[in-house]
Structure 1
């Protein structure tokens, strides 16, 4: 079994971010390149979260199972709602994007300032934000007829699901510490 260290995860995360930027520009030029970059992005994100998942698997494997199940139900529910609704969810996506920036700022603040139950508040806010983003992305999935946008949409849904999983993982691992 291969053990990945935190530095590998950070390097993989930075490389994944670079491949995501490359994916945005490749979509306009070449479908094959875009699909290759989508695959590279997925592998690099897997390597980026690998050290964290390895830690949880060793310390609290139940939290992984619980987070996986909760993520599946969460995505199925909000994805189905977004896919089925006729109401335009663009406004929710706009608010969700700004709220996501606010969540990043809150995360940075929480690194430096001790707020009681800050991690719990952060995770719950993240889940609320991603509920709207998942619904919007699944509505885009239903409405999209342009195959050139498929790699970007796949990356967006992948990131939605990954973030929801990580928020649930934080919640369920916190539960077992109590």
Structure 2
């Protein structure tokens, strides 16, 4: 999911732009980060609502008497697969996005992912979720800073990561049927490295995109929404893979 609309604008070499003195770029990137941050807040609120508020929880999940997850109801399955369906629709159905339609697209996916994350509050302890979130936030900040400041062109690295992402998705689907714990561990380890790399790659891609758009405000509005979506999905995936590796189950 994280490679949605990566080709929105052609990139220019990273070493051709002096990022440190461009106030417009900083404003553009700040808009992206603010939208990601607000998306994470909304997701956390929805995850708590769907996972811990019993009237809603019981609509989406089947749980034990002490509140542990044992399965999904039909509405729960719809919510769980909803983000993928919306992303696929966006990829093939939104050919001429505007700032408004791309914003609706972003917040729809954020809401669906946030609602689906209620499952993790039923699988892991609250302390484990909180500590893993903080670790993810720190890693995200460091990786994004690297992507923003590095003069090295990460295009080739990004292409390698996208190939790895495709393999990761295939392996995850296969393991849904195999239920192999060792394979799941390897998937989680690879997922951490892939999405960590994508955070840096997407940050640099957004920098280059800003210069390529040449001040077109409508196009930058769309790029802000799609850029926030890429970074948001990278963050969520990194968080989930770290939680799978280090989280304490209930």
Partner of 2:223: 149
Q: Secondary structure at the match of 2:199?
A: helix
Calculate the TM-score normalised by the size of structure 1. 0.84
Contact 1:103/1:126 (8 A) holds in 2:
yes
- Which structure is larger by alpha-carbon Rg, 1 or 2? 2
Partner of 1:54: 121
What aligned pairs does 1:12-91 form with structure 2 within 5 A after superposition? Answer: 12-24=79-91, 25-26=93-94, 28-50=96-118, 52-56=119-123, 59-91=124-156
Matched residues in 2 for 1:129 and 1:39: separation? 24
Choose which of 154, 172, 195 in structure 2 pairs with 1:107.
172
Partner of 2:14: none
Gaps of 5+ in 2: 1-52, 62-71, 214-219
**1:39-98 Cα shifts (integer Å, max 9, x gaps):** 111101111222x12303xx5222202210221121112111111111111111111111
Cα distance, 1:27 vs structure 2: 6.4
Choose which of 137, 155, 171 in structure 1 pairs with 2:245.
171
Q: 1:83–1:114: structure 2 CA closer, same or farther, 3 Å change rule?
A: same
Gaps of 5+ in 1: none
Count of residue pairs brought into register by the alignment: 172
Which has more helix, going by share of residues? 1
Tell me how large the CA RMSD over aligned residues is. Answer: 2.2
